[in-house]
A and B are shown apart, each in its own frame.
Chain A
Amino acid sequence: MKKYAPFLALALALLIPVALRQKPSLVYYLNLSMIYAISAQGLNLLMGIGGQISLGHAAFMAIGGYTSAVLVTVLHVPFGIALLAGVALSCLFGLVIGFPALRLQGFYLAIATLALGNVVTDIIKRLSITGGDYGLRNIPAPSLFGFTFASSLSQFYLILAGLLLTILVTRNFIRSKSGMALQAMRDSETGALAVGINASHYKLLAFVLASAFAGLAGVLYAHSVSYLNTGNFGLDLSINLLAITIIGGMGTVWGVVLGSLLWVFVRNLMGTSLEMLTGVLFGVILLLVVLFLPRGLSEIGYRISGRLRSNRQRG
């Protein structure tokens, strides 16, 4: 049964938009959740596996999104190439920031990424090609191989493909040599160094991969929301992405999906008048999770399924 569970989940996911045909706004929120899940999957890699923290994850989304949007609207580059360019530029920034910060111990990556987040939005605001303070409007819908993903229904499948790709990459990374090395290092830095693991090399790899995920999420965001503004990629989004990752559960690939769904839907259910209290609510949930559920909400799922399994064995 356990072997088929992912396929069952996938089949269900494929059917969701068909069931929600009459409610395009719900599909739109699902799309947003998946975009944030793609981005948070990067943080999951970096934090859950690598034990490092980034406070500029939203900036990498902005880099990816703006690169692709400018390429498509101004230079009329096909979407597929713009997507790759957006992801590549995110990776490049990840490399430039990660190289000096990850050679050192402690929290230097958090500070460097905090600075990056601030600088990136400042620069985008000042440039004219990015629409400055007004932002970029009417970004065309994604199109690949002659097919345009115009409706949010069709975009659902594109974004789902992106999400599945990041989940697969994350799973394989966790089980790969680099992933094992990182987990060894997270659990005991001295121990890992003693068996000859090159600490900064693997951390940098995880950080560049995390930047790539954020870049991909940014590109998908730009072309499905079709509007970009630096105000949406500030420090608060970076912190919210961290909260999504931790609340959902670090170290598991499904936790971030759960966290993003919770975040997007609670936020939109609360409405704009109570938007500020959503921040308070998530802050409190984050505190409680850190205190009582170190592996996030997905731990509840594991505990229940664990209990079921032990019941079955007993009975």
Chain B
Amino acid sequence: MWTLVFRGLATGSIYSLTAMGIVLVLSTTNVMNFAQGDMGMFLAFIAFALLMRHVSYPIAIVAVVAVGLLLGALLERGLMAKVRKTTSHLGMLIVTLALTMILEGLAGYFFGTTPLLFPPALQGDPLHVFGAILDRQDLLSLAVAGVVVFILFLVLYRTKIGIASRSLAEDEYAAKLLGIPVRSIYIFIWATSFGLAGLAGVMVAPKLSLEPGFMIVIQLKAFIAAVLGGMNSVVGAVVGGLLLGVMENLVAYYVPQIKDSFSLILVVIVLLFLPEGLFGRRAARRA
């Protein structure tokens, strides 16, 4: 039982990392980013290439997060800033879908479509704590997610740029009136989000096999986590991710008949009975 819960939390921490990226971008820039998972996939491939060239593991992780930050900033500066002027929300969503086609195509072209084995960061026997069996890689991803959540909340609630981003998410018009530098905040948010994508990709890749489509499932679960937590709440994304991970593991063990359809059932139930999610506020209607 505790092993199941722990494993659920570990998988959930990956969902949380991905969901946080999605929610950050959605609440501040109003873009539903369907490329979050595939950006993680692409960055995991870069990490894999680095590791194969005998770069040490910590350096590879730092490098990949840096590349993610850079790509996020570039995407906002080079593309999203232009798209925002010409198209609607639907158009921006489609831009992120185009991005998934490009990322998956490039990954498939350069690295092939045969699944690759991504080496885990921590090897060795699982630990036994209070009768629960704890895998070392799982512990690591939980720890990493914990540290990242802590830092992110410090930034969002204690620094100028973080508070400015939250005000932008709260009321874009008022934030602009107050002279908040919207363009730099958009860059900051996209960069943070793709940095998170890189971390999630590298943490989960050893548990799955590395191939161009391997993050699609994670991305789907991250969306469900975000819906569960409330689409515009970063806290909701963290809690939703962990909760989804645990529920999924328990369901797979105790009610294996509905294991495959669980995610769909959950989405339908949440949308029917709890459309704002656990932590979301009811979105104001806008014309």
Task: Return chain A residues, CB-CB under 8 Å to B108.
Answer: 275-276, 279
B86 interface hit (Cβ, 8 Å):
yes
B231 interface hit (Cβ, 8 Å):
yes
Closest beta carbon of chain B to A46's beta carbon, Å: 11
Task: Return chain B residues, CB-CB under 8 Å to A246.
Answer: 94
Name the residue on A nearest B268 (C-beta). Answer: A100
Name the residue on B nearest A274 (C-beta). Answer: B109
Contact, CB under 8 Å: B109 / A105: no
The segment from A30-38, A114-122, A152-160, A216-224 found at the interface with B is: A114-122
Contact, CB under 8 Å: B104 / A279: yes
Contact, CB under 8 Å: B86 / A291: yes
Task: Return chain A residues, CB-CB under 8 Å to B260.
Answer: 119, 122-123, 126
Other-chain residue from A53, A97, A100, A280 in contact with B105 (beta carbon distance below 8 A): A280
Given known contacts A47-B90, A114-B223, A118-B220, is B287 in contact with A189 (CB within 8 Å)? yes
Given known contacts A106-B231, A106-B283, is B109 in contact with A276 (CB within 8 Å)? yes
B140 interface hit (Cβ, 8 Å):
no
Given known contacts A286-B97, A294-B87, is B267 in contact with A280 (CB within 8 Å)? no
B208 interface hit (Cβ, 8 Å):
no
Contact, CB under 8 Å: B106 / A280: yes
Contact, CB under 8 Å: B271 / A291: no
Contact with A along B146-184 (1 / 0, CB 8 A): 000000000000000000000000000000000000000
Other-chain residue from B101, B263, B271 in contact with A119 (beta carbon distance below 8 A): B263
A112 interface hit (Cβ, 8 Å):
yes
Task: Return chain B residues, CB-CB under 8 Å to A275.
Answer: 108
Closest beta carbon of chain B to A48's beta carbon, Å: 10
Contact with A along B246-276 (1 / 0, CB 8 A): 0000000000000011011001100110010
Closest beta carbon of chain A to B116's beta carbon, Å: 15
Given known contacts A111-B227, A119-B261, A283-B105, is B220 in contact with A97 (CB within 8 Å)? no
Other-chain residue from A107, A234, A243, A290 in contact with B83 (beta carbon distance below 8 A): A290
A71 interface hit (Cβ, 8 Å):
no
A191 to B108, CA, bound (A): 46
Contact, CB under 8 Å: B268 / A112: yes
Interface size on A, as a range, is 35 or more
Other-chain residue from A116, A119, A122, A284 in contact with B102 (beta carbon distance below 8 A): A284
Other-chain residue from A55, A103, A108, A236 in contact with B213 (beta carbon distance below 8 A): A236
Task: Return chain A residues, CB-CB under 8 Å to B81.
Answer: none
Contact, CB under 8 Å: A107 / B93: yes
Most buried by B among A112, A115, A188, A287: A115
Other-chain residue from B95, B109, B223 in contact with A290 (beta carbon distance below 8 A): B95
Task: Return chain A residues, CB-CB under 8 Å to B105.
Answer: 276-281, 283
Task: Return chain A residues, CB-CB under 8 Å to B95.
Answer: 287, 290
A149 to B177, CA, bound (A): 67
Contact, CB under 8 Å: A96 / B109: no
A101 interface hit (Cβ, 8 Å):
yes
Closest beta carbon of chain B to A249's beta carbon, Å: 13
Name the residue on A nearest B100 (C-beta). Answer: A239
A118 to B216, CA, bound (A): 9
Contact, CB under 8 Å: B90 / A283: no
Contact with A along B98-122 (1 / 0, CB 8 A): 1111101110110001000000000
A243 to B100, CA, bound (A): 12
A191 to B216, CA, bound (A): 37
Binding site for B on A (CB under 8 A): 47, 51, 53, 55, 96-97, 100-101, 103-108, 110-112, 114-116, 118-119, 122-123, 126, 188-191, 234-236, 239-240, 242-243, 246, 275-284, 286-287, 290-291, 294
